Amino acid sequence: MQGVFISFEGLDGSGKTTQVQQVAEVLRGQGYEVLTTREPGGTVLAEKVRELVLDPLLPLNNMTQVLLYLAARSEHVEKVISPALAAGKIVLCDRFSDSTLVYQGLTRGLQLEALENLKQLNAYACRGLVPDLTLVLDGDPHKLLTRRVSRGVSDRYEIQGLEFQKQLRRGFLTLAQAEPERIRVLNAEGSADEVEQQILAVLQQFLKKA
Ligand code: T5A
């Protein structure tokens, strides 16, 4: 039986990493085999790419960033995600292709219609793999950024501040509007347990149908 591929998306500090871990524990307790992973990352090479691409001191133009993310994703899909899906696991991935469309596309002045090239490059890197379900953890950028800042701001995107986070939010909501069947938007402003309950409600319904 083919597994289920679920990606978590949203602003920096929206709680994706926390939720991936919490939700994985609950699903494992229900008897599911669950793999958690993240982007950029998930393989030795992709973790090295992560260091490069998030380094705020290393100048990288947007196309170079895209190609680095896609190189990392190609490895990640081939070596980690696809084998886990083939083994029937639920894969919970902390960010995936939609982050590229938002961070390297919609926030760079591209409109939705102009994302076609980026989508094609991404589809090539992923060999056509698309998440079965994507959960966007959404909320007021100021509130969410404050959580992250209290832990220390360090990477290439976080240092771009509140205005950039607002653009990111608009970007994820635009994608969700365009693909409402796949992308579900959840309110991430509550406590971690409240957000977890919302996610589990969506997941239980989704897994019943899968
Ligand atoms: N990127 C990524 C691209 O530009 N293009 C791409 O194609 C891809 C794949 C990744 C960066 O790379 C960019 C996007 C990102 O900027 P990252 O460090 O992995 O870098 O960044 P994030 O994915 O944003 O991870 P963060 O750790 O910053 O945020 P999370 O995972 O959303 O949040 P989390 O769970 O770590 O929580 C942050 C803090 O808030 C607390 C946690 O304990 C933690 O301290 N918290 C809560 N506090 C109150 N209420 C809740 N509900 C809370 N949930 C968590």
Q: Which atom of ligand 1 is nearest to the CA of 192?
A: 52
pLDDT at residue 12 in the model: 87
Beta bridge partners of 36: 92
CA of 14 to the centre of ligand 1 (A): 6
pLDDT at residue 18 in the model: 97
In degrees rounded to 5, what are phi and psi of residue 115?
Answer: -85, 0
Whether 72 and 45 have beta carbons less than 8 Å apart is answered as yes
Q: Judge if the beta carbon of residue 164 lies within 6 A of ligand 1.
A: no
Ligand 1, from 147, 155, 187: best to mutate by most atoms within 8 Å of Cβ?
Answer: 147
| Residue 176 CB neighbours (<10 A) | 18
Length of the chain: 210
Closest CA to 172 of 5, 4, 7, 37: 7
Closest CA to 124 of 79, 81, 78: 78
Q: Give CA–CA dist 157/163, Å, rounded.
A: 11
pLDDT by residue for the chain (210 residues), tens digit each? 799 999 999 998 899 999 999 999 999 999 999 999 999 999 999 999 999 999 989 999 999 999 999 999 999 999 999 999 999 999 999 999 999 999 999 999 878 888 999 999 999 999 999 999 999 999 999 888 887 766 665 676 766 788 999 999 999 999 999 999 999 999 999 999 999 999 999 999 999 887
Q: Which atom of ligand 1 is nearest to the CA of 190?
A: 52
